[in-house]
Amino acid sequence: MEQYKQIAEKIKEADGILIGASNGLSIAEGYNIFANDEKFRSHFADFQRKYGIRSLIQGSFGRFETENEMWSYYSRMAYYYMYHTQSSLLMQTLYMLVKEKPHFVVTSNTDDHFAVAGFDRKSIFEIEGNMKDMQCARGCHAQVYSNREVVFTMREHEQGMEIPAEYLPRCPICGGTMQIHVPVNQAFVRGKDWQAQSECYMDFIDSFHNKFRRNQLGLTAIYH
């Protein structure tokens, strides 16, 4: 308890807060992309039987027989692990702790949970993309598109492990396959929004140059 009091005091003293977050934070929320847990089995039992997939992350890099199956998997992943979730108490508490201070989030998480909890998207750099977006699977251009409407439509029309062809998204430039905007292969694109957030991150760092001191929880507090 004393440790938490000390951390709270340091946050109060700080000029700004830099939050670095990866899968450990998601696991603390009860969202474990590495686990063959009840949530994963309830949504992907059919993929588990066919392909032997034992976790969300394993399936993300899976080689599916058809584009229809690929989007069946990705649409479930986006829907049940992002669109169909509410902000956790942990994320709400974290936001309440830092919201009155200048702050920035750099994260490898792709679940959009920071924004859902209230963090300004302009203050979040998602270095590995976000499940709410999609891109050309070939990476023929760097534009990223929202997949919300596509995902919800797929959830309505899925047949077994497949999405009917008429509901599959197409690249508006080359007409080819689209995929979720996370780095599942070498085609991951770093579009203008990704570049803009990268620059915002560097601007935040530059504005507090030489003022960083790291604590043991991975929060970097910027002190007077």
C-alpha of 134 from chain center = 12
Dihedral sign for Cα 96, 209, 215, 22, please: positive
Please answer whether residues 136 and 189 qualify as being in contact, where contact means their C-beta atoms are separated by less than 8 angstroms. Answer: yes
Whether 171 has a binding-site annotation, put simply, is yes
**How long, in residues, is the chain?**
224
Please answer whether residues 135 and 189 qualify as being in contact, where contact means their C-beta atoms are separated by less than 8 angstroms. Answer: yes
Please answer whether residues 118 and 139 qualify as being in contact, where contact means their C-beta atoms are separated by less than 8 angstroms. Answer: no
Whether 140 has a binding-site annotation, put simply, is yes
Please answer whether residues 154 and 75 qualify as being in contact, where contact means their C-beta atoms are separated by less than 8 angstroms. Answer: yes
The backbone torsions φ and ψ at residue 108, rounded to the nearest 5 degrees and listed phi first, read: -95, -5
Whether 174 has a binding-site annotation, put simply, is no
* The residue to which tokens 């669109």 are assigned: 83
* The residue to which tokens 């919201």 are assigned: 99
Please answer whether residues 77 and 64 qualify as being in contact, where contact means their C-beta atoms are separated by less than 8 angstroms. Answer: no
- Binding site listing for Zn(2+): 136, 140, 171, 200
